[in-house]
Amino acid sequence: MRRSADGPPRRTRRGVTDFQIKLITLAGLLLLWEALSRLGYISPLVLPRPTRLATTLWDLSVYGFPKDITVWLHIRATLWRIVQGYLLAAVFAIPCGLIIGRYYLLERGTNPIITFARSVATISLLPLAIAWFGVSELSRVLLIMYGAFWAILTNTIQGARSVDVNLINAGRMFAATRGRIFFRVILPATLPRIFAGLKIALGISFMVIIAVEMIGTVEGLGALIQQARFFYKSDMAIDGTIFIGILGLILSLLLDWVERLTLPWAVGLEEVKR
């Protein structure tokens, strides 16, 4: 039987867990990097050594950059913008997608518009957003929403459109009203695709947020990286990037967890049995 990703820790003959192997590998790479840097093979201007990144991180979390805006405040600002834009996108895209996907004419009619809107790179709308809403939080949140919206919408439409007709017939045979068929058959049948859309949208949100934070604000990880660039502080830019990665990883894991909780019937069979 195949072992699921988060099954019991696998132990090798020497009693080392999978997690320990990953940790040792990472530590080894960092050590190698540090050593090459100290021996002069890597210029600290091009790639600062790990210990330098660590001390910069300490400065960032205690004193902040610009002064008093600590890395935690940057993270909070970025996270808050993503949460607002992403949730707004989900709240509008899921109901719209379910309805469009269930009405053939609506789906055919909106199809070119949606394909067009989805193909427009969100960042190219930045000047327009600034013209309409100024260099403001609203502009930033709306751009994240725009980027996330289409991914969730198109996936929800696809899911709603391809619900097994026999399941709908079963709903009709077993006394479900139109409303119940919508909420108890079409919605749950579409959920796996909705989650697929939500995952893609999360990635898009991260691309959009960093770009929109590079303009007109000093708060946020994107702003931190931009500021670091102005002052040629590559160690700070790298620290900011690492945090973006960690934040993205945590949010993805959170989404996976919500999915497993919501769709115990759709995830791997072994996990269901446990």
Site string for other proteins, 222-261 (x = CB under 8 A): ----------------------------------------
Q: Tokens at residue 257, please?
A: 């967890």
Q: Which of 21, 26, 32, 170 binds other proteins (CB under 8 A)?
A: 170
Strands (E), the chain: none
Give the DSSP letter of residue 124.
G
Q: Minimum Å distance from CB 183 to other proteins? A: 11
Q: Which of 116, 174, 231, 257 binds other proteins (CB under 8 A)?
A: 174
260 and 269 in contact (C-beta within 8 Å)?
A: no
Site string for other proteins, 186-205 (x = CB under 8 A): --xx-x--------------
Q: Tokens at residue 182, please?
A: 């919508």
Q: Which stretch binds other proteins (CB under 8 A): 34-42, 98-106, 183-191, 204-212?
A: 183-191
Nearer residue to other proteins within complex by CB, 22 or 172: 172
Q: Minimum Å distance from CB 216 to other proteins? A: 45
167 touches other proteins by CB under 8 A: yes
If one counts every other C-beta atom within 10 angstroms of the C-beta of residue 50, the result is 16
Q: Minimum Å distance from CB 113 to other proteins? A: 26
Q: Please give the helix or strand (H or E) that residue 224 lies within, else none.
A: helix 221-230
CB within 8 Å of 165: residues ≥ 6 apart: none
Nearer residue to other proteins within complex by CB, 66 or 264: 264
112 and 154 in contact (C-beta within 8 Å)?
A: no
Nearer residue to other proteins within complex by CB, 5 or 165: 165
- Residue 91 DSSP SS3: helix
Q: Which stretch binds other proteins (CB under 8 A): 83-91, 113-121, 153-161, 163-171?
A: 163-171
What are the C-alpha distances in Å from 3 to residues 80, 255, 269? 37, 22, 11
- In one-letter notation, the amino acid at residue 147 is G
Cis amide leading into 112 (omega within 30):
no
Query: Distance between CA 144 and CA 146 in Å, rounded?
Result: 5
Q: Which of 29, 35, 242, 269 binds other proteins (CB under 8 A)?
A: 269
- Residue 200 DSSP SS3: helix
Q: Minimum Å distance from CB 202 to other proteins? A: 23
Nearer residue to other proteins within complex by CB, 4 or 241: 4
Question: Which residues here bind other proteins, judged by CB under 8 A?
Answer: 164, 166-167, 169-170, 172-177, 180, 184-185, 188-189, 191, 263-266, 269, 272-273
